Structure 1
Amino acid sequence: MNLLVLFLPVWVLSISFSSPILHAASSISLSQNAQAESPGIQEVRTVHHQNLNKRILIALVACSALLVGVFLFLLYVWFGRHKNLRCSKSKSQETIEAAKGETISSVNAKLNYSKMADKKSSVAIFDYQLLEAATNSFNTSNIMGESGSRIVYRAHFDEHFQAAVKKADSDADREFENEVSWLSKIQHQNIIKIMGYCIHGESRFLVYELMENGSLETQLHGPNRGSSLTWPLRLRIAVDVARALEYLHEHNNPPVVHRDLKSSNVFLDSNFNAKLSDFGFAMVLGMQHKNMKMSGTLGYLAPEYISHGKLTDKSDVYAFGVVLLELLTGKKPMENMTSNQYQSLVSWAMPQLTDRSKLPSILDPVIRDTMDLKHLYQVAAVAVLCVQSEPSYRPLITDVLHSLIPLVPVELGGSLRVTEPISS
């Protein structure tokens, strides 16, 4: 249609150009017909008629050639313009997608980008078939950790890109969207980085950066029973988690309460650097409402939250204290005493944490007799303060962090300079 519109004025112009010639030819023909009545000029009339036919033929050929030339030129221009527009659109789309997807540019797969409703940050949407192929159909051999119905798989996309894929609860859409929202906006070295997500029917998947050593829970309570975690590494893990909480409580705008801090939500990279994950229950500090659903895991929940539903940043401090006790003792937050009875780690450890003569005996055998006792007493004192039943007695996470950093060796990110052999 566009080509016809371009061609129409030229066709009209050509008709206008040829009309005088045809009109002149017609006039001459009429004149000759009028002269045909004179018998004396028959030969001249024939000659003029032949010349006229030649002129008309030449004019028609010239007009036709002109029209064909103009048509071919316009056709060439139209196709050229159409091709340029397509190239321009393609380059523009590639530029936009490259800018949005720098973190996974090495994946040779179909990835789409979108914005969650009323969210500011964009995250990648992974095809289910891509996740299925990367996890070998979610084979059990690729499981890195489990927490309830949530399973984390190792995903191998290509030689340049591996990630962790968490299958979320199918009936927890609100938590799923909440986690995507928070992690797409929060950037911190001790908070896990989200790569994207996938929605496939009733299933929900989150794709994180790969943490090669899995969760802290798996390291402490799995088959290895904490054998890879030395005393300095355990202190560094505690400091990393405290740094993540300090960022959420003190530096993020607005301040955030994690609400589900536990060892299964702390992941370790190849160098045992710790990063906090699982922000499905995270919320803005002070935004609690009466009908809010209680969340978290038994053993990590602060007493005031269980009894009165009161939630503050000190609730995260309590959960941090429980994780610190796990690092010290190697025990789970809730121990099964009988078929129907459980004992919390806090109630079991508290009497012994404050007795220096008993303290070494409750330590994880892996780290027993491997640290300076002064440092052990300091860490135990911090743990005792964090798990106080009264929230006002618990320290701010910033104070906890500043108490632990001097106990971590410089080479592990702390400020402790070891100048002589460690004594026990």
Structure 2
Amino acid sequence: MNPMCQCLEGFSPKSPQEWDMRNWTKGCVRTKPLTCNDISINDIFVKFVALKVPDTTHTWLDENIGLDECRARCLNNCSCMAFSNSDIRGSGSGCVLWFGDLIDMRQFNTKQTREQDLYIRMANAESQSESKMNIRTIVAITIPTLCGVLLLSVYVVYRIRRNLVEKSMVRDNIEKHVEDLPLFALPTISMATSNFWIENKIGQGGFGPVYKGKLSDGRQIAVKRLSRSSGQGVTEFINEVKLIAKLQHRNLVRLLGCCIQGQEKLLIYEYMANGSLDSFIFDHTKGKLLSWPHRFHIILGIARGLLYLHQDSRLRIIHRDLKASNVLLDDKLNSKISDFGMAKAFGGDQTEGNTDRVVGTYGYMAPEYAVDGLFSVKSDVFSFGILLLEIICGSKNRALSYANNTYNLVGYAWTLWKEGNALQLIDSNIKDSCIDSEVLRCIQVSLVCMQHYPEDRPTMTSVIRMLDSEMELVDPKEPGFFPRKVSNEATNQNEISLNNEISVTSLDGR
């Protein structure tokens, strides 16, 4: 008997053992990884027919563009995983983009149901194999063996010298911008972490693993170690050092120094005894340790840290990746913003920018940034609104089941707010310790921060004033990424629901 779940061509089970045991919860993964970040090899889109399209909570819709422009938009955004026409009646018009994991797909027999085409992003393995084959052919035909050995020797020498130059440039670049930042020796850090002993590992991010350590003078440290397989690299490493080295604020994690030696690139931070905020608020047991007064104190700390970055620091800094795992807690539960590898600094009167490379974590991105690469202080404000809501609810901004519909946390909160039932959002762990009027004010502030258009969102100065006073608040407009269902008649047999904007979900390992 065929299994109930099967992988599409080009995909294989993420966990074959669990798949054999009829546990399909981990789904399928591509047999060849995507090459989006390699500009020399573009990804391709493979057409699959007779599909029930994936869950559309995390989609973007434009009914005014055709399939060619739809494909171009998806290709230019590394987070876009698939596209299709929005009009499933066969007119070939409109565009739907899927972001993040493709969930709840089904392939039908075209004789039994109406055909729906879906174009899924796949690695261009053919281009890769052809490139490798051409190189081998050229080497075999045109280069004599002796000449090949000589050229290889020259190349090895060149690469060694180039690596030495690059390492020197990295060190010089860091020293140029942060003359006062201590440079630790590798043996010092290796000894402090017991040679990066696995028991000392306290976290893992897109940058790489994080280890706890203790220096010879007794100071406890946290060491971020750049992984060779990391999606981030030297650019993000230098960026974080340049931006945070001279920032001094009680709600920002303090960078103590760095280490560049051989293949190792390390950032050394002050140690945060209570780890990351997400380990508390998303854990039912540990969540009980954070009463509402604790959570409100943490919220204000995050807001003050953002205000410093946006307004009071030497440069205006947009964090671009504010989320629960990038907020750390010290031994007194003071909140401190961390991880500045994706941050952008503005000088002078500049207040916004754009990028062709959208980075960050889905679930926290503002719509104008996720779709068009536009970022500003207001995109950080949007992320703060998501984070504020998560702290109140104790839930992630992922799909929730509510009234037989699928909403992310933002959609769920907006629905309850309109119904006058916003207090239902409160985490059960803090119901006995919270002040209803204070929590309700915070929910309203979060919705004001998450409004779709940047010009409608407040600055962090206004946010702090709204949180820390009894001033009258404005009524929030509809938030970005709020899912809406279209009618069953319009969707026909596939019963898909399309958003007017992308609904984002957290992609760990950024």
Normalised-by-shorter TM-score class: 0.5 to 0.7
Shift of the 347–115 alpha-carbon distance from structure 1 to 2, 3 Å rule, reads same
Match of 1:295 in 2: 359
Provide, for residues 173-197 of structure 1, a one-character-per-residue CA deviation record: whole Å limited to 9, x for no partner.
1110011111111111111110111
Does residue 214 of structure 1 match 2:278?
A: no
Letter in 2 for 1:180: V
Provide, for residues 299-335 of structure 1, a one-character-per-residue CA deviation record: whole Å limited to 9, x for no partner.
0000111122111100000000111011101111334
Residue-pair matches, total: 291
Give the alignment partner of residue 317 of structure 2, picking from 256, 273, 282.
256
Shift of 1:120: 4.5
- Any idea what SS the aligned residue of 1:267 has? strand
Give the alignment partner of residue 383 of structure 1, picking from 446, 468, 479.
446
Match of 2:193 in 1: 135
Shift of 1:284: 2.1
Cα contact 1:121–1:184 (8 A) shared by 2: no
Shift of the 142–222 alpha-carbon distance from structure 1 to 2, 3 Å rule, reads farther
Looking at structure 1, the residues matched to 297 and 359 of structure 2 have their Cα atoms a distance apart, in angstroms, of 28
Give the alignment partner of residue 433 of structure 2, picking from 367, 370, 373.
370
Does residue 311 of structure 1 match 2:379?
A: no
Shift of 1:387: 0.9
- Any idea what SS the aligned residue of 2:273 has? coil
Shift of the 369–143 alpha-carbon distance from structure 1 to 2, 3 Å rule, reads same
Cα contact 2:305–2:337 (8 A) shared by 1: yes
Does residue 199 of structure 1 match 2:199?
A: no
Cα contact 1:145–1:215 (8 A) shared by 2: no
Shift of 1:202: 3.5
Shift of the 227–152 alpha-carbon distance from structure 1 to 2, 3 Å rule, reads farther
Letter in 2 for 1:384: L
Cα contact 2:193–2:214 (8 A) shared by 1: yes
Shift of 1:224: 3.8
- Any idea what SS the aligned residue of 1:395 has? coil
The runs of 5 or more residues in structure 2 that have no matched partner are: 1-170, 471-510
Give the alignment partner of residue 283 of structure 1, picking from 339, 344, 360.
344
Looking at structure 1, the residues matched to 419 and 210 of structure 2 have their Cα atoms a distance apart, in angstroms, of 39
Give the alignment partner of residue 212 of structure 2, picking from 133, 151, 154.
154
Shift of 1:367: 0.5
Provide, for residues 367-392 of structure 1, a one-character-per-residue CA deviation record: whole Å limited to 9, x for no partner.
02322211121111101101111111
Looking at structure 1, the residues matched to 187 and 285 of structure 2 have their Cα atoms a distance apart, in angstroms, of 33
The structure with the greater share of residues assigned to helix is 1
Give the alignment partner of residue 189 of structure 1, picking from 234, 245, 250.
250
Provide, for residues 248-270 of structure 1, a one-character-per-residue CA deviation record: whole Å limited to 9, x for no partner.
11112331111111111111100
Shift of the 193–216 alpha-carbon distance from structure 1 to 2, 3 Å rule, reads same
Looking at structure 2, the residues matched to 268 and 182 of structure 1 have their Cα atoms a distance apart, in angstroms, of 21
Give the alignment partner of residue 464 of structure 2, picking from 401, 405, 415.
401
Cα contact 1:335–1:343 (8 A) shared by 2: yes
Give the alignment partner of residue 168 of structure 1, picking from 226, 229, 233.
226
Give the alignment partner of residue 231 of structure 1, picking from 285, 292, 303.
292
Provide, for residues 17-76 of structure 1, a one-character-per-residue CA deviation record: whole Å limited to 9, x for no partner.
xxxxxxxxxxxxxxxxxxxxxxxxxxxxxxxxxxxxxxxxxxxxxxxxxxxxxxxxxxxx
Shift of 1:127: 2.2
Looking at structure 2, the residues matched to 141 and 342 of structure 1 have their Cα atoms a distance apart, in angstroms, of 40
Cα contact 1:162–1:210 (8 A) shared by 2: yes
Looking at structure 1, the residues matched to 223 and 336 of structure 2 have their Cα atoms a distance apart, in angstroms, of 16
- TM-score for the superposition, normalised by structure 1: 0.63
Does residue 349 of structure 1 match 2:413?
A: yes
Shift of the 153–223 alpha-carbon distance from structure 1 to 2, 3 Å rule, reads farther
The runs of 5 or more residues in structure 1 that have no matched partner are: 1-112, 408-424
Provide, for residues 124-172 of structure 1, a one-character-per-residue CA deviation record: whole Å limited to 9, x for no partner.
2222222222222323332333334533221122462111111234451
Q: Max radius of gyration: which structure? A: 1
Shift of the 184–127 alpha-carbon distance from structure 1 to 2, 3 Å rule, reads same
Looking at structure 2, the residues matched to 174 and 336 of structure 1 have their Cα atoms a distance apart, in angstroms, of 37
- Any idea what SS the aligned residue of 1:165 has? strand
Letter in 1 for 2:240: E
Match of 1:48 in 2: none
Looking at structure 1, the residues matched to 186 and 407 of structure 2 have their Cα atoms a distance apart, in angstroms, of 42
Cα contact 1:259–1:315 (8 A) shared by 2: yes
Cα contact 2:209–2:227 (8 A) shared by 1: no
Shift of the 214–223 alpha-carbon distance from structure 1 to 2, 3 Å rule, reads farther
- TM-score for the superposition, normalised by structure 2: 0.53
